[in-house]
Structure 1
Amino acid sequence: MSFDLPRNTILPVDFVEVRLDPGPHPFERDNRQAIAENWSREIAANPALFDGTVVLLSALSYRDSRLVGRCHAVRYSTFMLWRSNRQVAGAEHAYAHAVLVAGDNALVAIRMAPHTVNAGRVYFAAGSFEPVDFRDGLVDVDFNMVREVGEETGIDLSGAARGQRYHALSTPSGTVIFRRYRIVEPADEIARRISAFVAAEAEPEIEGPVIIRHAADLPEGLMGHMKPLIEWHFAGKD
């Protein structure tokens, strides 16, 4: 098990080859009691949490514009214990961001709802990879992006213009794989559509949309990994 990729720098990515290993993740296998004890504390603090299935990496490397890795399906309770101590050897997290670009070049992010783990935090609509995001054992990053944006905002990105390639940013909190998705409507109209979707949901995952109009337009609650992505976009990088 190894993690071999540059940290804290944006990397161009032409191929993502992260494979789902059917075996148990060693972190989950070796920490069952600690996972159960931590989960009891988590749900006592937030009864809205659900112990579903996500994936956790056991290896990830970057070579020749390729991200190559291995992950395992784990319970969300396992992820939450790992999240409390991200320095655990042999386990890391990867997730995807559809960088939603409006017709006026503004970015449209979201603020998470109060009942969620990341309550009040601002980032692009996203969620952890799940087994449904894999095709023939390999992660389908764009499927995950379209699925998560649709579930959280009601915006269908399946017909949106996509950036030429992926990029990745690896930090101590995890590795984000991102790609621009462009929608022709201006940011205010996209935000209006998202707000209408949220208002119609019984238990929305997000509080609402957040428009970012320039590189210095950094909203309160912005997740740490977002600032480099915002600067990258407004610098016109690709």
Structure 2
Amino acid sequence: MSFDLPRNVILPVDAVDVRLDPSPHPFERDNQPAIAENWQREMAAKPALYDGTVVLLSALAYRDSRLIGRCHAVRYSTFMLWRKNREFSGAEHAYAHAVLVAGDNALVAIRMGSHTVNAGRVYFAAGSFEPIDFRDGLVDVDFNMIREVGEETGIDLSTAQRGRRYHALSTPSGTVIFRRYRVAEPAEEISRRISAFVAAESEPEIDGPVVIRNAADLPDGLMGHMKPLIEWHFAGGGEAV
């Protein structure tokens, strides 16, 4: 199966069948010395980094509006080396975005904290899939979305209105799986709540919220994959929610 899906186009996704393989990822297995050496450099630059567990793909395909794939648990240090060696690595990254839509149709994103790898960058609150995001070996995308938004912003999306389906955008740097989550409050109120949450945290992951009100309202530091998602939303995104 390897990696077989259209690139640089937004795809409708009715189901995500990505399974966690208990065997080691070949990239981690074959690059132990380089992983350790690179991690020393990363820690020297960002001492707050934590070598936790994330997942990395070894296969992903798009078939009949479904994403089908295989991933493996790896150390974050492995992921950090992979970021510098994506080409011909036999590995790819997938992550999920809850597209947070306020009651006034504005989007609410976040700016990452200065101590993080993506310091100053703007995207929807999100994090890599972790083993906790899998149920009987199958990824639970919505669990990941709700968990990450709650951890980073304090906003609970468990009762928010969800879009009817997922969508995905795959680029050479990774595949983002996204879904609208609509809440009733206007963007200013959501922003106020996030700012209060960040202020109360001893070590917040984010600097604060970023409100995006139209397709031309692009903030500084916007991650490259975000512009197509913002344009998709304000163009209607193929669905009402």
SS at match of 1:70: strand
Deviation at 1:84, TM superposition (A): 1.2
Query: Which deviations, in whole Å up to 9, do the C-alpha atoms of 1:139-178 show, x marking residues without a partner?
Result: 0000000000000000000000000000000011100000
Partner of 1:206: 206
Q: Is the 8 A contact 1:101 1:107 kept in 2?
A: yes
Residues of 1 paired with 2:82 and 2:7: CA distance? 19
TM-score scaled by length of structure 2: 0.98
Opposite residue 191 of structure 2, the aligned amino acid is: A
Partner of 2:90: 90
Residues of 2 paired with 1:155 and 1:172: CA distance? 31
Partner of 2:50: 50
Partner of 1:32: 32
SS at match of 1:229: helix
Residues of 1 paired with 2:216 and 2:48: CA distance? 35
Deviation at 1:225, TM superposition (A): 0.1
Q: Is the 8 A contact 1:51 1:75 kept in 2?
A: yes
SS at match of 1:149: helix
Residues of 1 paired with 2:237 and 2:53: CA distance? 35
Partner of 1:21: 21
Partner of 1:225: 225
Partner of 1:155: 155
Deviation at 1:89, TM superposition (A): 3.1
Residues of 2 paired with 1:9 and 1:173: CA distance? 14
Residues of 2 paired with 1:30 and 1:182: CA distance? 43
Partner of 2:107: 107
SS at match of 1:96: strand
User: How does 1:52-201 map onto structure 2 within 5 Å?
Assistant: 52-201=52-201
Q: Is the 8 A contact 2:25 2:72 kept in 1?
A: yes
SS at match of 2:126: coil
Opposite residue 192 of structure 2, the aligned amino acid is: R
Q: Is the 8 A contact 1:13 1:166 kept in 2?
A: yes
Deviation at 1:129, TM superposition (A): 0.0
Moved over 4 A (4+): none
Q: Is the 8 A contact 1:17 1:68 kept in 2?
A: yes
Query: Which deviations, in whole Å up to 9, do the C-alpha atoms of 1:118-146 show, x marking residues without a partner?
Result: 00000000000000000010000000000
Residues of 2 paired with 1:237 and 1:48: CA distance? 38
Q: Is the 8 A contact 1:82 1:88 kept in 2?
A: no
Deviation at 1:88, TM superposition (A): 3.2
Opposite residue 220 of structure 1, the aligned amino acid is: D
SS at match of 1:147: helix
Opposite residue 37 of structure 1, the aligned amino acid is: E
Deviation at 1:6, TM superposition (A): 0.2
Residues of 2 paired with 1:26 and 1:85: CA distance? 14
Opposite residue 26 of structure 2, the aligned amino acid is: P
Deviation at 1:24, TM superposition (A): 0.1
Q: Are residue 3 (structure 1) and residue 29 (structure 2) matched?
A: no
Residues of 2 paired with 1:193 and 1:53: CA distance? 29
Unaligned regions of 5+ residues in structure 1, if any?
A: none
Residues of 2 paired with 1:235 and 1:45: CA distance? 40
Alignment: residue pair count: 238
Deviation at 1:87, TM superposition (A): 1.1
Q: Over the residues paired in the alignment, what is the CA RMSD in angstroms?
A: 0.6
SS at match of 1:39: helix
